[in-house]
Structure 1
């Protein structure tokens, strides 16, 4: 089954069980500025600060859900709209995922749906090596500079990213590879450590059922991890 079919099935069950259908509460999707999203962290090389990505935020009944994406829309969706909206682009999928995170947070079905801020990204990264088995070869999917620093200090790492501005450049001694190298890198690695943004760009199924442990990091995947039974890492999310 397509992961989004599973997500919609689960959301539909919660809408029905909690009598949310037809309510006038709206899911309001908007893009946050870098400062709104992660405050003022010590380093300025995060994709959102460099303008490579945006943080899409949805609010439902006072609960907030976020999703990283490379495109966004500013729109109001009802809960029922989430069940029928086309998911044919990154911006639409970002709205859906942010909305799903907000609804699930409202229902107390998941936590850590809001990104960490200020000094917290560094605190999160300082523990990232604990999420993988020491000595294993790690594939990092999505260039997260602090994670790459910490993981590469503990063992062999390869990293793939979609940002052409990163591809071919060495960070922490690791040259960022293009998406075309993903299959080879999966075969090479022992563990996959992937950004939850793979859910938004549609590549998440690439990393499932590969016979390799996979951990998805960040707030984007919060509700989906609960529904799809995914392993996650998000130490300092809110």
Structure 2
């Protein structure tokens, strides 16, 4: 079954279990500014700051869920409308659905840490990655999926590190003494080289998560986008300072 069919079916089960009226429930989604989403950070090269991604935020009865995406969206409507979106062909619709799923699951107490950390917290979060990796593995080769500067800078000080990204402005450049490789061209080489994968949860929005979810090696997802889906799909998630 397609991942999004699984997520949609799960959400429908919760609607039935908790007697939620899909016509009456309002979902409001908006795009956050970089300052709203991540605050005033030490580093200025996070994708959301340089304009390569935006943060969608959905509100469900006061509970908020977020999703990083490259497709801005403003929406106000019912949960029924969210569940009728085209999740297979449209990254715009997938982003709306994911933010809404996170908000609904947060409201029901079925997931947590759905709001991105801010200001100095991304630095604090990133310092935990080497600690966790060291506690679980000896000296692994680490592939990081997605350009996340704080994580890259901290992990590469402890482990052999390679990074995959899809942004042509980063590909084949050196960032924090690590070459950023092409997420399509170099995928097979980097994945076969790595012992463990640290993967951005925003792969869920563009559906490239299918390239990582069934790998025969440990995969850890980071960020708020993957909050609800990680619980539903049984994925390992690292997210230390989100709210």
For the aligned pair, the TM-score class normalised by the smaller chain equals over 0.9
Q: Secondary structure at the match of 1:48?
A: coil
Determine which of 194, 197, 201 is the counterpart of 1:196: 201
2:65 corresponds in structure 1 to 65
Superposition deviation, residue 77 in structure 1: 3.2
Superposition deviation, residue 23 in structure 1: 4.5
Give yes or no for contact 2:11–2:101 (8 Å, CA) kept in 1. Answer: yes
2:228 corresponds in structure 1 to 223
Using the size of structure 1 for normalisation, the TM-score is 0.97
Taking only aligned residues, the RMSD between alpha carbons, in angstroms, comes to: 1.0
Q: Secondary structure at the match of 2:55?
A: strand
Q: Secondary structure at the match of 1:40?
A: coil
Alignment of 1:118-133 (within 5 A): 118-132=119-133, 133=137
1:136 corresponds in structure 2 to 140
Q: Secondary structure at the match of 1:237?
A: coil
Superposition deviation, residue 82 in structure 1: 2.5
Give yes or no for contact 1:27–1:77 (8 Å, CA) kept in 2. Answer: yes
Given the alignment of the two structures, is residue 205 of structure 1 paired with residue 206 of structure 2, yes or no? no
Aligned length: 238
Write the distance in 1 (CA, Å) between the matches of 2:132 and 2:56.
Answer: 26
Alignment of 1:1-238 (within 5 A): 1-87=1-87, 88-132=89-133, 133-180=137-184, 181-238=186-243
| Runs (4+) off by over 3 Å | none
Alignment gaps of 5+ in structure 2: none
Using the size of structure 2 for normalisation, the TM-score is 0.95
Write the distance in 1 (CA, Å) between the matches of 2:164 and 2:73.
Answer: 26
Give yes or no for contact 2:223–2:239 (8 Å, CA) kept in 1. Answer: yes
Q: Secondary structure at the match of 2:49?
A: helix
Write the distance in 1 (CA, Å) between the matches of 2:33 and 2:142.
Answer: 31
Superposition deviation, residue 103 in structure 1: 0.3
